[in-house]
Amino acid sequence: MGYYDDHSMSRSKPKKSNWLMPFIIGIVLGAFLFAVLLPSLVNNQLLPYQIVIGGKADPEQPLQSDEEDNLSMPSGVRNVQVDISTRISEIVTDVSPAVVGVTNIQTQTDFWQQEESGEEGTGSGVIYKIDGNRAFIVTNHHVIQGADQVEIVLSDETKVEATLVGSDLYTDLAVIEMDANYASKVIELGNSTDVLVGEPAIAIGNPLGMHLSGSVTQGIISGKQRAIPQDFNMDGRADWQAEVIQTDAAINPGNSGGALLNMEGQLIGINSMKIAQSAVEGIGFAIPIDDVIPIIEELERNGEITRAYLGIEAYSLNDIAKVEWDRSLHLPDSVEGGIYIRSVEPMSPADKGGLKDYDVIVKLDDQPIENIVDLRKHLYSEKKVGEDLTITYYRDGEELQTTVGLSTLPN
């Protein structure tokens, strides 16, 4: 019997592959290309990107134009290089002359019936318009409230006497005027509707008094269309819903009436410390410039604001848990938004129209109402005193409708 031993077979050893020489050649060739070819490509701007050394652009390589970028980059993509610190400094330098201090001076009577004038408070203001020999300044109502005299403090600390044109308690806005010869800069008005949550914002004003005039704080837009209840007579019920922009840029007493700016240096809001009602870190409010413009224009014309009056304290449905929509308000599933009435003023148009507490308004003049902001816009932008308002609402799950005659908002 034959025996076969596989391990006893002789085999030839494989030859050792010679890999060292190609590896060395590859390294040398790569170093040559990096040292010689890459700088040539950079200098001739043939790369689809910019070489950055040490966090800074190569000084020998100019930035490509937008047209060149578009040739080398996908459609809809562009290079954006912004130095925030430098941009803020540029904006502040340009805008600061248009942001002024506002001093509220009131006449006081002492025990011997002698009158003397004293400073009751300070705030900020923004020069927004020059018309002939008059310069117009917007500030907050609470900054000039009760003033017998108003004084403007310019960015160079020059003091100028000013005159109150008109003010409005509800929007916390006021217009004052001074001699246009003292106005060296008018601020550019922006558009608060286009403001995006998360974009940078700059606040300029005079926090804590004139000794800190022209103070600058920077943050972001934290929210839009925030509805903040305002109780003017301190009876525990909201008299107004202020629609504001929320920012985390520091706004302190004295900042009121100052400017909230975007990164274009445009005015997007008027800061108001009073709306916040209490000092809360990281939360500041500004009145959107789109709401400011019609108010200050009417104040220029008439010195006061005439508003249609419905006579309800109302809140957005979204302010309460959705489970309560069905359990407490008995709303059908088809209702997706609206406002609920917390209380009705006696003898008001709403009272005369039969509205009651916890009725839910879903339409005004057949236009859907999603929240308290929609109510205010419709009532104060589209309606006038004396006009009729058709209200569609729900009560205990039943859809009802009433028509009321709007009266004047009491002062």
pLDDT for residue 210: 54
Q: Which pair of tokens denotes residue 209?
A: 């008094």
CA–CA gap between residue 144 and residue 169 (Å, rounded): 11
Residues whose CB is less than 8 angstroms from the CB of residue 14 and which lie 6 or more positions away in sequence, other chains included: none
Closest CA to 150 of 173, 120, 115, 116: 120
| pLDDT value of position 340 | 95
Are 229 and 235 in contact, with CB atoms under 8 Å apart?
no
**Topology match between the domains 93-182 and 308-408:** no
Low-confidence residues of the chain, pLDDT below 50? 1-16, 49, 51-80
Q: How far is CA 160 from CA 100, 135, 154, 213, 370, in A?
A: 10, 12, 8, 15, 46
Upper half-sphere CA count for residue 137 (Cβ side, 13 Å): 37
Fold of 192-302: Thrombin, subunit H (2.40.10)
Model pLDDT, residue 207:
54
Residue 196 contacts residue 245 (beta carbons within 8 Å): no
Question: What is the C-alpha to C-alpha distance for residues 178 and 327, in angstroms, rounded to an integer?
Answer: 57
The predicted structure's pLDDT at residue 73: 44
Task: Note if the pTM is more than 0.85.
Answer: no
* Dist. CA 70–CA 78, nearest whole Å: 7
pLDDT at 402: 97
**How close are the terminal C-alpha atoms of the chain, in Å?**
125
Domain boundaries in the chain?
22-72, 93-182, 192-302, 308-408
Task: Point out the residues that are catalytic.
Answer: 142, 172, 256
Element (H, E) at 222: strand 215-230
pLDDT at 237: 63
Please give the pLDDT value at position 77. Answer: 43
CA dist 23 → 17, 29, 87, 234 (Å): 12, 10, 51, 84
Q: What is the pLDDT of residue 38?
A: 59
Rounded to whole angstroms, the Cα distance separating 320 from 28 reads 71
On whether the CB atoms of residues 197 and 214 are closer than 8 A, the answer is no
Collapsing DSSP to helix, strand or coil, 333 comes out as: coil
**Distance from C-alpha of 351 to C-alpha of 410, rounded to nearest angstrom:** 15
Distance between CA atoms of residues 95 and 102, nearest Å: 17
Helix (H, G, I), strand (E, B) or coil at 407: strand
The pLDDT value given to residue 216: 86
CB 401 within 8 A of CB 364: no
Homologous superfamily (CATH) of 93-182 is: Trypsin-like serine proteases (2.40.10.10)
Q: What is the pLDDT of residue 118?
A: 56
| Record: fold of 308-408 | Pdz3 Domain (2.30.42)
- How far apart are alpha carbons 105 and 117 in whole angstroms? 6
What's the pLDDT tens digit per position in 208-241?
A: 555 555 578 889 999 998 877 777 777 666 667 7
State residue 60's pLDDT score.
44
Which whole-number Å values give the CA distances from 343 to 40, 147, 221, 315, 408, in the listed order? 77, 34, 33, 10, 19
Residue type at 190? G
C-alpha dist (Å) from residue 115 to 118, 121, 146, 236, 351: 10, 18, 16, 36, 47
Q: Rounded distance, CA 102 to CA 209, Å?
A: 10
- Which backbone phi and psi does 87 adopt, to 5 degrees? -65, -40
Name every residue whose Cβ is closer than 8 Å to that of residue 184 and which is 6 or more positions away in sequence.
97
